[in-house]
């Protein structure tokens, strides 16, 4: 190795020493844009040679050339210009900015900028400013409806929640299905740190939520392996490349200030199908004692306004309370302020920014505070060595993340369950007993008082995160460079939660802490070659290697059954009541990669890439795999003469394979030591997933073809893609029968197909001097199909609702993530079969459809009149399904209008008896509803289709004339709104986007945080 290095040094030295030239004429000058701003980094090449230079940050250059030479000035986004030197010794050049599609440049895999026309795959770009006006706490949610084929699902989990991003469908049964998130060339951790499940819990956020939209220059969405193949195993689900803003040359230090304030309120303020005819109680009776009043049922008597005893012994009117949601939930708010400084010196440009986000949820005591600090420094050290570096420091503090799904500690669950005649004012008035224990308001000790739940069931977490990159680049010649990249993402995370002392189902309470330290380091070394081999043929080659190291330390401390009341510390319980555990999880991937792009005459491009990954998580012999890709792009409009209406037409196609491995330590069985009992140490098998020593990497193969065209003077743009994606050898953590002893088993057998189309249409409907109207429509349709699971296994279960009547399953032959549940037992004609006592019988398990909407679309209109702009975005998803646990429980509790039938005098269920005769047995409506809710899912499965008015922005830029003498370079103000209206939905009481986690199991709902709308104002100043 050492010797190789020496040779390499010698090689580099020899290059350097050969690069001196005869001096004929000294030419110098300045390159500016048409508005006079200097342009940094303009390529200046002596035509017909390899000789050249670049401008510095002031736009200045100097070069020695032969007399009579011609200089070519080129820069991304500007039309190239040729100037004959003649006898001039000073040549100043102004370049014209160019919107021409032929010159569009995008960031591609590994952070390499490429001309868009050369790509054989679809890439979508989003500019930073599209994320900063109408903001979301988790930046990823702002992408919804804006990119064709990007399926964003934000769980109903509050201000600090996670989000789920899926591109071109779910490719893995149980593995990760979210794209790789890359910030300035460095993959960052996007793990969800905790999710709600069947038994409750809270959403502890993800990694992308750390990012500050103010820092973002642009986002490239690489839709699948064809675009992301150079990332190898981590690219099978595509990648989202975030490029942050760098410094800019300019006069002195530039300052940008942005302030944003939004208020947040419930989108659905009243339960839409709750009944307000009957009140709290059972069997049609008003409560007459405190014990009878302890109920979450609304199966009582007709509301008559009489004074009736309630849970706290006080009597209150027995009348309808319709405003519990409005009265309990508060007005939320989010303040975001940021300051950025930019500047430059001779050789260095820099940008420093700070940001403060302070968000208060609609749920009392719940909120998020985030501070981002970022420093980007780019520079040139001498003529050939340049570097890019940036570091981000992020502090995220979340307070009282709401508990979701099952009832314990959940305010929302309680609000949803409250009887029609019980007011939150009563619950606010009577929260605790004289001992300061929680006073329950129902006979179910697992349902909390919502005020007590939100104030006393405390949790908080803090994440300190550093993301940094250092990227030196050495141009050996103008066509050969060597580049290194060292990046890391490290966070320290501490979560603590309290089960309050005196909450009835756990009277002595509890306390728990979770500490995590995560570090991922990526080191890359690349050698790049980019040269015109002849007038028409170009070759661009990249070779490189990467080592990825991940270390995760996860430790937990907890104590149950506290000794001293209301004192929360790990020490406050008997030692045997304390839990402690530590996990050290390490993972490594080594990779070698390369790509080669041939171009012909500026209209034909062929690219091939390959990456070999070696995984530490798989057994040697099974741990190496090569991921290839090929792609081609043909700019037809450049190659042949097309009708004049067609300004641009590109055809493209590509094919790629990517893949993935498994989590560490999945290859063999482990034990855990679980303390001691009466002097005997205890141990048990800790693995709940059957290990598999012979696992191999999975393979995801993607093919895509498409075209990109601009028509009618570039007023109409259409980008269309068709793709197929097939995952084979999927590592499936399949749910297996619990009677096997294990919850799941790892197999290397899954096969899933995804096929789909993506369409983006841009149309400039009107272009007058002062008025423009632009429309943009995007849609993605993805059809998924689970082809095989394991042997003859037809279905695997991924999740289950707390009602225990509905599940999420992957079923062979059907789309991914089926909402499955028990149907009524039915006769051949479809009639509901009742038992001899008049109750409906449970039928078979039925697949109601996928929980993942196959069709996503967004439709944006923007109008601009002089300095005023108005844009609004409508988006929707279609074809998905949702099982609502909330509505199932509401039905069981007699809360919904469907429960009104037969309240007085009983109810004869429509249908037949087991003999096939019409059912004639009369039963109580309460018992009937209870039987259905406990056994049958069908009435609570909905289509999750929706159309939403997602976003409105009205902005006004103060004209530069007005700003004239003020210190401001620019100033703009906008009025922003998000999630303003649900234009169409099928789910009573709920936003159809209300799943309780961001896992692979989509389609279950229970007691999510209510959907909110935000309205506010954004102010941006530059000076």
**Touching other proteins, residues 488-547 (CB under 8 A):** 504-508, 523-525, 545-547
Q: Which is nearer to other proteins, 327 or 837 (CB)?
A: 837
Among 164, 245, 463, 587, binds other proteins (CB under 8 A): 587
Under the binding rule (CB under 8 A), the answer on residue 594 touching other proteins is no
Site for other proteins in 442-461 (CB under 8 A): 443-445
Q: Which is nearer to other proteins, 397 or 508 (CB)?
A: 508
Tokens read off for 220: 């490239």
Minimum gap (Å) between residue 828 Cβ and other proteins:
19
CB-count exposure of residue 911 (10 Å: 0-12, 13-18, 19+):
buried
Minimum gap (Å) between residue 15 Cβ and other proteins:
11
Q: Which is nearer to other proteins, 692 or 1014 (CB)?
A: 692
Q: How many residues bind other proteins (CB under 8 A)?
A: 127
Pairing mode of beta strands 1012-1022, 254-266: antiparallel
Q: Which is nearer to other proteins, 4 or 641 (CB)?
A: 4
Q: Which stretch binds other proteins (CB under 8 A): 140-148, 280-288, 331-339, 531-539?
A: 280-288
Minimum gap (Å) between residue 421 Cβ and other proteins:
16
Q: Which is nearer to other proteins, 641 or 677 (CB)?
A: 677
Dihedral sign, Cα of residue 432, residue 433, residue 436, residue 438: negative
Tokens read off for 419: 């009887």
Question: Mind spelling out the 3-state secondary structure of 165-177?
Answer: EEECCCCCCCCCC
Which string of x and - marks every residue 904-933 that binds other proteins (by CB under 8 A)? -------------------xx-xxx-xx--
Beta bridge partners of 486: 470, 523
Q: Which stretch binds other proteins (CB under 8 A): 66-74, 310-318, 331-339, 663-671?
A: 663-671
Minimum gap (Å) between residue 847 Cβ and other proteins:
9
- E-assigned strands of 279-347? 307-309, 315-317, 332-344
Minimum gap (Å) between residue 279 Cβ and other proteins:
14
Tokens read off for 935: 């056994």
Under the binding rule (CB under 8 A), the answer on residue 433 touching other proteins is no
What is the three-class DSSP state of 962? helix
Residue whose token pair is 């992301």:
228
Q: Which is nearer to other proteins, 425 or 486 (CB)?
A: 486
Among 3, 677, 769, 961, binds other proteins (CB under 8 A): 677
Minimum gap (Å) between residue 409 Cβ and other proteins:
15
Site for other proteins in 779-798 (CB under 8 A): 790, 793-797
Pair 449, 414: CB distance under 8 Å: yes
Among 77, 250, 594, 664, binds other proteins (CB under 8 A): 664
Site for other proteins in 564-583 (CB under 8 A): 573-578, 581-583
Q: Which is nearer to other proteins, 195 or 662 (CB)?
A: 662
Site for other proteins in 361-420 (CB under 8 A): 381-382, 385
CB atoms within 10 A of CB 833: 20
Q: Which is nearer to other proteins, 656 or 808 (CB)?
A: 808
Which string of x and - marks every residue 728-747 that binds other proteins (by CB under 8 A)? ------xxxxxxxxxx-x--
Among 687, 764, 783, 861, binds other proteins (CB under 8 A): 687
Beta bridge partners of 586: 551
Among 673, 765, 900, 983, binds other proteins (CB under 8 A): 673
Under the binding rule (CB under 8 A), the answer on residue 948 touching other proteins is no
Under the binding rule (CB under 8 A), the answer on residue 18 touching other proteins is no
Among 252, 620, 641, 917, binds other proteins (CB under 8 A): 620
Pair 236, 659: CB distance under 8 Å: yes
| Cβ-based neighbours of 829, under 8 Å, separated by 6 or more | none
Pair 894, 932: CB distance under 8 Å: no
CA dihedral 615, 618, 619, 621 (to 10 degrees): -60
d(CA 595, CA 428): 65
Q: Which is nearer to other proteins, 86 or 741 (CB)?
A: 741
Q: What is the DSSP string of 11-41?
A: HHHHHHHH------EEEEEEEEETTS-B-TT
Q: Where are the alpha helices (DSSP H) in 62-128?
A: none
Pair 490, 465: CB distance under 8 Å: yes
Pair 538, 599: CB distance under 8 Å: yes
Under the binding rule (CB under 8 A), the answer on residue 622 touching other proteins is no
Among 89, 327, 345, 668, binds other proteins (CB under 8 A): 668
Among 261, 335, 474, 703, binds other proteins (CB under 8 A): 474
Q: Which stretch binds other proteins (CB under 8 A): 256-264, 395-403, 584-592, 595-603?
A: 584-592
Minimum gap (Å) between residue 210 Cβ and other proteins:
26
Q: Which is nearer to other proteins, 172 or 924 (CB)?
A: 924
What is the three-class DSSP state of 765? strand
Under the binding rule (CB under 8 A), the answer on residue 869 touching other proteins is no
Pair 868, 955: CB distance under 8 Å: yes
Minimum gap (Å) between residue 348 Cβ and other proteins:
17
Among 472, 869, 902, 939, binds other proteins (CB under 8 A): 472
Among 252, 434, 643, 681, binds other proteins (CB under 8 A): 681
Pair 929, 892: CB distance under 8 Å: yes
Minimum gap (Å) between residue 838 Cβ and other proteins:
10
Q: Which is nearer to other proteins, 283 or 345 (CB)?
A: 283
Under the binding rule (CB under 8 A), the answer on residue 1017 touching other proteins is no
DSSP label at 299?
A: -
Under the binding rule (CB under 8 A), the answer on residue 602 touching other proteins is no
Under the binding rule (CB under 8 A), the answer on residue 217 touching other proteins is no
Minimum gap (Å) between residue 296 Cβ and other proteins:
9
Q: Which is nearer to other proteins, 158 or 851 (CB)?
A: 851
d(CA 74, CA 147): 30
Tokens read off for 800: 């289950």
Site for other proteins in 746-785 (CB under 8 A): none
Most distant CA pair in the chain: distance in Å? 108
Q: Where are the alpha helices (DSSP H) in 263-370?
A: 290-293, 324-328
Dihedral sign, Cα of residue 242, residue 248, residue 252, residue 254: negative
Under the binding rule (CB under 8 A), the answer on residue 989 touching other proteins is no
Pair 433, 829: CB distance under 8 Å: no
Q: Which is nearer to other proteins, 557 or 790 (CB)?
A: 790
For residue 798, which of 1007, 728, 789, 190 has the smallest C-alpha distance?
789
Q: Which is nearer to other proteins, 565 or 628 (CB)?
A: 565
What is the three-class DSSP state of 489? strand
Minimum gap (Å) between residue 19 Cβ and other proteins:
14
Under the binding rule (CB under 8 A), the answer on residue 285 touching other proteins is yes
What is the three-class DSSP state of 654? strand
Under the binding rule (CB under 8 A), the answer on residue 626 touching other proteins is no
Q: Which is nearer to other proteins, 29 or 281 (CB)?
A: 281
Question: Mind spelling out the 3-state secondary structure of 67-85?
Answer: CCCEEEEECCCECCEEEEC
What is the three-class DSSP state of 781? strand
For residue 184, which of 115, 142, 240, 132 has the smallest C-alpha distance?
240
Among 935, 944, 994, 999, binds other proteins (CB under 8 A): 935
What is the three-class DSSP state of 939? helix
**C-alpha distances in angstroms, 142 versus 132, 135, 680, 862?**
9, 7, 55, 17
Site for other proteins in 106-135 (CB under 8 A): none
| Cβ-based neighbours of 848, under 8 Å, separated by 6 or more | 818, 819, 820, 821, 881, 883, 937, 938, 941
Minimum gap (Å) between residue 691 Cβ and other proteins:
7
Pair 239, 703: CB distance under 8 Å: no
């Amino acid at each position: 190795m050492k010797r190789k290095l020496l040779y390499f040094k010698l090689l580099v030295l020899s290059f350097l020493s050969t690069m001196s030239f005869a001096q004929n004429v000294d030419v110098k000058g300045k390159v500016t844009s048409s508005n006079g701003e200097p342009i940094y980094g303009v390529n200046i090449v002596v035509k017909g040679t390899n000789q050249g230079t670049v401008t510095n940050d002031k736009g200045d250059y100097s070069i020695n050339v032969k007399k009579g030479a011609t200089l070519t000035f080129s820069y991304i986004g500007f039309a190239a210009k040729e100037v004959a030197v003649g006898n001039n010794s000073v040549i100043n050049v102004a370049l014209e900015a160019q919107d021409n599609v032929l010159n569009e440049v995008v960031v591609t895999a590994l952070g390499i900028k490429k001309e868009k026309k050369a790509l054989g795959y679809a890439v979508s770009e989003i500019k930073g400013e599209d994320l900063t006006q109408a903001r979301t706490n988790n930046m990823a949610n702002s992408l919804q409806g804006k990119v064709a084929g990007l399926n964003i699902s934000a769980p109903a989990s509050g201000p600090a929640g996670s989000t789920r991003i899926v591109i071109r469908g779910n490719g893995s049964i149980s593995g990760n299905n979210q794209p790789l998130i890359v910030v300035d060339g460095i993959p960052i951790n996007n793990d969800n740190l905790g999710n709600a499940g069947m038994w409750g819990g809270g959403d502890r956020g993800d990694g992308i939520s750390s990012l500050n939209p103010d820092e973002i220059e642009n986002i490239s969405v690489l839709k699948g392996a064809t675009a992301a193949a150079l990332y190898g195993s981590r690219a099978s689900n595509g990648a989202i490349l975030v490029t942050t803003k760098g410094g800019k040359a300019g006069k002195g230090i530039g300052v940008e200030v942005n302030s944003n304030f939004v208020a947040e309120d419930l989108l659905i303020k009243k339960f839409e199908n709750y009944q307000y005819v009957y009140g709290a109680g059972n069997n049609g009776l008003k409560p007459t004692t405190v014990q009878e009043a302890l109920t979450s049922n609304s199966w009582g008597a007709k509301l008559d306004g009489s004074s009736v005893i309630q849970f706290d012994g006080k009597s209150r009117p027995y009348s309808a309370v319709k405003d519990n949601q409005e009265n309990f939930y508060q007005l939320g708010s989010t303040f975001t302020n940021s300051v950025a400084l930019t500047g430059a010196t001779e050789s260095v440009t820099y940008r420093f920014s700070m940001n403060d986000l302070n968000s208060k949820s609609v749920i009392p005591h719940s909120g998020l505070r985030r501070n981002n600090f970022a420093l980007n420094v780019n520079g040139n050290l001498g003529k050939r060595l340049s570097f890019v570096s940036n570091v981000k420091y992020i502090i995220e503090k979340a307070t009282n993340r709401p508990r979701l799904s099952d009832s314990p500690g959940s305010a929302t669950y309680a609000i949803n369950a409250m009887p029609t005649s019980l007011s939150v004012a009563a619950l606010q008035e009577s929260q605790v007993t004289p001992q300061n224990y929680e006073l329950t308001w129902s006979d179910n000790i697992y349902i909390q008082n919502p005020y007590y739940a939100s104030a006393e069931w405390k949790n908080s977490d803090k994440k300190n995160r550093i993301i940094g990159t250092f990227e030196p680049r050495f141009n050996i010649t103008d066509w050969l460079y060597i580049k290194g990249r060292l990046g890391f993402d490290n966070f320290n995370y501490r979560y603590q939660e309290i089960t309050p002392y005196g909450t009835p189902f756990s009277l002595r309470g509890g306390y728990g802490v979770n500490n995590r330290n995560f570090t991922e380091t990526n080191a890359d070394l690349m050698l790049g070659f980019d040269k015109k081999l002849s007038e028409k043929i170009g070759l661009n080659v990249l070779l490189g290697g990467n080592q990825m190291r991940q270390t995760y330390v996860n430790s937990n401390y907890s104590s149950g059954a506290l000794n001293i009341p209301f004192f929360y510390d790990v020490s406050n319980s008997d030692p045997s009541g304390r839990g402690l555990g530590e996990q050290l999880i390490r993972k490594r991937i080594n990779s070698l990669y390369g790509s080669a792009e041939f171009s012909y005459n500026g209209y034909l491009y062929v690219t091939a890439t390959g990456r070999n990954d070696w995984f530490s998580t798989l057994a040697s012999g099974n741990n190496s795999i090569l991921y290839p890709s090929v792609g081609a792009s043909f700019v037809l409009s450049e190659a042949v003469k097309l009708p004049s209406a067609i300004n641009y037409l590109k055809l493209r196609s590509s094919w790629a394979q990517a893949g993935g491995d498994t989590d560490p330590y999945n290859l063999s069985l482990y034990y855990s030591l679980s303390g001691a009992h009466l002097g005997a140490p205890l141990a048990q098998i800790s693995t709940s997933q059957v290990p598999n020593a012979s696992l191999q990497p999975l393979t995801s193969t993607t093919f895509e073809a498409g075209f990109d065209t601009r028509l009618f003077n570039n007023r109409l743009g259409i980008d269309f893609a068709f793709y197929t994606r097939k995952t084979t050898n999927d590592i499936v953590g399949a749910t297996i029968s619990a009677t096997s002893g294990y919850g799941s088993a790892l197999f290397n057998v899954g096969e899933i197909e995804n096929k789909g189309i993506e369409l983006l249409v841009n149309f400039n409907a009107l272009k007058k001097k002062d008025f423009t109207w632009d429309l943009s429509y995007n849609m993605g349709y993805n059809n998924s199909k689970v082809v095989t699971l394991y042997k003859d296994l037809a279905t695997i279960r991924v999740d289950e609702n707390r009602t225990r009547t509905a599940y999420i399953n992957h079923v062979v032959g059907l789309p991914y993530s089926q909402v499955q549940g028990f149907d009524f037992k039915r006769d051949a004609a479809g009639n509901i079969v009742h038992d001899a006592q008049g109750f409906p019988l449970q039928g078979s398990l039925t697949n109601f459809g996928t929980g993942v909407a196959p069709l996503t679309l967004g439709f944006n209109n923007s109008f601009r009149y002089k300095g005023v702009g108005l844009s609004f975005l409508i988006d929707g998803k279609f074809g998905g399904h949702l099982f609502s646990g909330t509505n199932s429980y509401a039905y069981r509790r007699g809360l919904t209008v469907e429960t009104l039938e037969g309240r007085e005098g009983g109810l004869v269920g429509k249908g037949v008896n087991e003999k096939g005769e019409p059912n004639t047995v009369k039963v109580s409506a309460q018992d009937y509803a209870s039987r259905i809710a406990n056994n049958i899912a069908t009435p609570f499965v909905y289509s999750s289709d929706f159309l939403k008015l997602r976003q409105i922005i009205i902005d006004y830029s103060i004209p530069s004339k007005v700003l004239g003498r003020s210190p401001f370079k620019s100033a703009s103000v906008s009025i922003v709104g998000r999630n303003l209206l649900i234009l169409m939905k099928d789910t009573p009481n709920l936003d159809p986007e209300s799943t309780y986690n961001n896992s692979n199991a989509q389609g279950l709902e229970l007691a999510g945080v209510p959907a909110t709308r935000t309205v506010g104002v954004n102010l941006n100043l530059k000076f």
